[in-house]
Structure 1
Amino acid sequence: MNTREAATHGIPSFASARDHADTGSLSLRDWLVHLAKTGRVATIDTPVALEHELAAVAKRLDGEQAAFFTRPHGHTVPVVSGFMSKRAWIAEAMGVDESALLARFSAAAAGPLASKLIQREDASCQQVVHTSGIDLHALLPIPTHSEHDSGPYITAGLVIARNPRTGVQNVSINRIQVHGPDRMAILLLPRHLHAFQRDAEAAGDALDVAIVIGVDPLTMLASQAITPIDHDELEIAGALHGAPLPVARCVTNGVHVPAFAEIVIEGRILPNVREPEGPFGEFPKYYSAKEAREVIEVAAVTHRRDPIFHTIVPAEMEHLLLGAIPREATLLAHLRRSHPGVKDVHLSVGGVCRYHLWVQFDKKREGEAKNVILCAFGAHYDIKQVVVVDTDVNVHDPAEIEWAIATRFQADRDLVVIAGAQGSPLDPSTTVGQPDDAPSHLQGVSAKMGLDATRPVVYPAHVFTRVHIPGEDTVDLQALVAADNSAFDAYLSRDHG
């Protein structure tokens, strides 16, 4: 399937194409075609500046339509943003109702499918290969997003590397600042890629990596799965698709990448080399500081003919949801292992889909909700605040959560506070009182707060019975409400003396 065919063919339903995963039909292009057919792509066909203007337009459209820029200034390669900016769209890509989203992701994470290695000539991500005279600024339309960002950033690149000890791959999304034609700085948080890099550096070796830009939404989502080390997230992508994900071996190293991606940057993280990176507007909607970071030296760029560049506008819905859904699925499974009464969880948008967790719980004994709170804090260090509510409260509705706190919570009885715990290093409130050059082991120290907003197991009469009007959920308004206001107008026109 060549690039022009991929850009114009259509499918009746994106999820139905999972049966053809090994043909290459499951690409970013398929999803964009599907969104366009349903009015969810806005095409910007006038030139826009890569510095700020492109991100400003994409931000205004975020959550409503994907933004497709046909003429980013000075480039023929188009840019897309915001194609995963609604929870319902992600469920649609999976082929499930929104209520089944976490269960579907959890099932894929629990049952990964080994990827399928295909020949280079069949991998559209390697239709065009650049191995000399590489200039990333000339090849790719890399935007500068926020006002005080220190330069252009790759924000939607899947960074793939192999464990130097075991050879098993890891996939993550890391912010990457493009410093020069073939040189980039990357933020490595203390997770699997960082562990790989430390092992390679300890041996005096560079770490081979690939940065993959422009994949379908399910592969994008799988990259954010929270798994133990040595679990390849591309295998979770295969499970989400319902068939092994086709992968290709990189041109200059042994990393395997999604074969039908738009663009792949091949390179290596250099040992014992650090260069300044930042400031950068991160997901908490604040800037992270300028610090010395690891450096990627680029060896090759491969791409489809007529590729599409994907950028994520930091701190907007596409960014937040990519982190939220895999975390929610992991947190739900973790909590249920110890507390089967946990029914649902939600990482709130106001808590930047990382820090504030709302838990729906079927409480049977007093004190259980506090145990759930403590279990949640141990599940992921990012969690800063937990609210536990009863099963009659919708954890996806902020007004419902606030109502439960207002009517079922008392601070002297139901508040849990834990001081001095590990939190997110990107939470700016954790830096208060710390010197600018605080060592990494002191960064991100945070207080945790839990709110038990559940009603008592036993209560007198109807004190905690929620007000309900019989029939309010089932009344047929369409049958009862008149098509126009003629009867209303006629009544008011009467002479009532």
Structure 2
Amino acid sequence: MDSPPAARPNAAAPDLRAWLDVLAGRGDLAVAREGVGLIDELAAIAKRTERDTAVLFPRPSGHAIPVAVNLFTRRAWVADSLGVSEADLLPRFLAAAARPLPSVEVAQGPAQEVVHTEVDLLRQLPVPKHNELDSGPYITAGLLIARNPVTGVQNVSIHRCQVSGPNRIGILILPRHTRAYCRMAAAAGTALEVAIVIGVHPALLLASQAIAALDEDEMAIAGALLGRPIEVVKCRTNAVRVPADAEIVLEGRILPGVLEPEGPFGEFPQYYGPRAPRDVIEIDALTHRRQPIFHTIVGGSFEHLVLGEVPREATLLQHLKRSFPNVLDVRLTLGGTCRYHLAVKIDKQSAGEPKNIIMCAFGGHYDIKQVIVVDKDVDIAVAEEIEWAVATRFQADRDLVLVAGAQGSKLDPSSDDGVSAKLGLDATAPLTDDPMAFRRIHVKGEEAVDLQTALVTDPAAAFARLMAGRS
């Protein structure tokens, strides 16, 4: 694999605060008035501003700790946080996943400047309630770091965490790596030691979403993304290692055999995940920086969607390229919640190939519900371009792939407890000897036009002068 794209200076930003400085320095960080309510009001402002700006909320509901939101609601911001161009974003992630950089343990770090062994989460932290029917305040941007009780290898992931008591958290754990570690701990008759880390550099959040194998430490992928090892410290009450420069750390244990009600909660498909008995974390200690910052992600917001988009795209692109080197790019579309609908751009070589690519994509991740394959002249970053390809190059009786009864997302409300149909559309042009059959129209010189010189700066005055000569 090629070397990772060269990083711009802000790629070395050490922590969340440095990224906030970048946003503030270029006018992409707004500051709310003091005292915005943590229940609903903060999330309402975040939703209204998510297409435009990140927001910092000082003294929310009178709490001393500020809350940051909308930290990367645009794909370009994700690239900026890593110091690469948007075009280099997926290659950078793939290179980091291929050559992870293990973390380095240090004796102490800012994350443990203040230590609380008496924990009262809602008193000590500004935890917001987001969507209208959420069951209460949720920690949504916390990295759950779990340690394999047999090998000691760590896993980093993000789960919805409902604050259900002073030191108690209800958590949705899907059947992935954290669940596997829970089973190992339960088999040994012990609780699973974990930490919830809030307020880290975006690279750590991105790496947590990598589709990695069991016992591949996502923190090492984050280190490779930044070009430097992540410094970690050992928790005060368990053996989990956490980023030394994190803002806030909750140390605790997932209790074996204990289930308590959790939910509903507004999820990425823009529906509520239901209330049900869920696992429980008991928090043993809370550590944080002096004057920490709390990061939250509104459930179902652009930040929620984009966070999962890039790592999944990188993994799917790698998966497809193994069998089809002529796959050029992939995009999980915003309308498909950056999870369910995949667009694939290819340099088509033979008839029938797009259908093979569609079936390969379904095997890349069970969340994928719809795949549209398009030619290399289609810009898959633009939804209208994809729709145009379907409108002009797809025929349902010839180009449709339908798979019934496959595994899908349990969070898709249209599925039958996760059993879902898969839909594939070959929206590529048929291979033909007629070069004009599917040639797109093009205006010569369009790309070279400089609008600053081609158009006047005061069109109203120019129009008035033009019309004055015609009166």
Give the shorter-chain TM-score range.
over 0.9
**1:476 deviation in Å?**
2.7
Distance, in Å, in 2 between the alignment partners of 1:404 and 1:185 is 45
Q: Which residue of 2 aligns with 1:362?
A: 347
Distance, in Å, in 1 between the alignment partners of 2:321 and 2:206 is 22
Distance, in Å, in 2 between the alignment partners of 1:492 and 1:136 is 68
**What's the TM-score, normalizing by structure 1?**
0.91
Distance, in Å, in 1 between the alignment partners of 2:263 and 2:365 is 25
Q: Which residue of 2 aligns with 1:9?
A: none
**1:477 deviation in Å?**
2.9
Give the conservation status (yes or no) of the 8 Å contact 2:93–2:311: yes
Q: Deviations over 1:129-156 (max 9, x none)?
A: 011x311111001111111111111000
Secondary structure of the residue aligned to 1:234 is helix
Secondary structure of the residue aligned to 2:283 is strand
Aligned 1:71-470 pairs, distance under 5 A? 71-120=59-108, 123-131=109-117, 133-431=118-416, 443-470=417-444
2:466 is aligned with 1:481? no
Q: 1:31 to 1:487 in 2, by over 3 A?
A: closer
Q: 1:488 to 1:309 in 2, by over 3 A?
A: closer
- Which residue identity lines up with residue 45 of structure 2 in the other structure? V
- Which residue identity lines up with residue 466 of structure 1 in the other structure? R
Aligned identity (percent) is 58
**1:461 deviation in Å?**
4.9
Distance, in Å, in 2 between the alignment partners of 1:338 and 1:424 is 25
Distance, in Å, in 1 between the alignment partners of 2:236 and 2:470 is 87
Q: 1:150 to 1:475 in 2, by over 3 A?
A: same
Give the conservation status (yes or no) of the 8 Å contact 2:10–2:81: no
Distance, in Å, in 2 between the alignment partners of 1:196 and 1:150 is 27
**1:408 deviation in Å?**
0.2
Q: Which residue of 1 aligns with 2:29?
A: 41
Secondary structure of the residue aligned to 1:106 is helix
**What's the TM-score, normalizing by structure 2?**
0.96
Q: 1:149 to 1:484 in 2, by over 3 A?
A: closer
Q: 1:242 to 1:417 in 2, by over 3 A?
A: same
Distance, in Å, in 2 between the alignment partners of 1:283 and 1:333 is 24
2:468 is aligned with 1:493? yes
**1:185 deviation in Å?**
0.8
Distance, in Å, in 1 between the alignment partners of 2:153 and 2:407 is 28
Distance, in Å, in 1 between the alignment partners of 2:276 and 2:457 is 63
**1:361 deviation in Å?**
0.6
Q: 1:325 to 1:18 in 2, by over 3 A?
A: closer
Secondary structure of the residue aligned to 1:73 is helix
Secondary structure of the residue aligned to 1:184 is strand
- Which of 2, 13, 16 does residue 9 from structure 2 map onto? 16
**1:186 deviation in Å?**
0.6
Distance, in Å, in 1 between the alignment partners of 2:150 and 2:470 is 91
Give the conservation status (yes or no) of the 8 Å contact 1:15–1:93: no
**1:16 deviation in Å?**
1.5
Q: 1:455 to 1:39 in 2, by over 3 A?
A: same
Q: 1:44 to 1:478 in 2, by over 3 A?
A: closer
Distance, in Å, in 2 between the alignment partners of 1:481 and 1:144 is 49
Distance, in Å, in 1 between the alignment partners of 2:409 and 2:358 is 18
Q: Deviations over 1:169-220 (max 9, x none)?
A: 0000000111000111110011101111111112221000000000011111
Give the conservation status (yes or no) of the 8 Å contact 1:223–1:233: yes
Give the conservation status (yes or no) of the 8 Å contact 1:18–1:243: no
Q: Structure 1 regions of 5+ residues with no counterpart?
A: 1-13, 20-24, 432-442
Distance, in Å, in 1 between the alignment partners of 2:470 and 2:377 is 49
- Which residue identity lines up with residue 253 of structure 2 in the other structure? R
Give the conservation status (yes or no) of the 8 Å contact 2:210–2:311: yes
